[in-house]
Amino acid sequence: MGAVRPGRAGGAREGGLRETKVEKRLPIRVLMVEEDALFAWCVQRYLAPHGFQVVIADRVWKVVQEMGVHRFDLVISDYRLGDSGGRELLKQVKRIQPQVPVLLVTAMERDEIAFPDTGLAEAYLNKPVELLALKKTAQRLVVEKDGRAAAEGNLS
Q: Residue 133 maps to which CATH number? A: 3.40.50.2300
Q: Does any domain span residue 116?
A: yes
Domain membership of residue 38 (yes or no) is: yes
In a domain, 84, yes or no: yes
In a domain, 71, yes or no: yes
Q: Is residue 121 part of a domain?
A: yes
Please list the pLDDT of the chain residue by residue as tens digits (156 residues). 444 333 333 334 444 445 455 556 679 999 999 999 999 999 999 999 999 999 999 998 999 999 999 999 999 999 877 767 778 888 899 999 999 999 999 888 777 766 555 678 899 899 999 999 999 999 999 999 888 777 776 443
Parent domain of 33: 25-155
Q: In what order do the strands lie in the sheet with 28-33?
A: 52-57, 28-33, 74-77, 102-106, 123-126
Specify the number of domains making up the chain.
1
The CA distance from 14 to 136, in Å, is 9
Residue 144 CA to residue 104 CA, distance in Å, equals 16
pTM, rounded to two decimals: 0.79
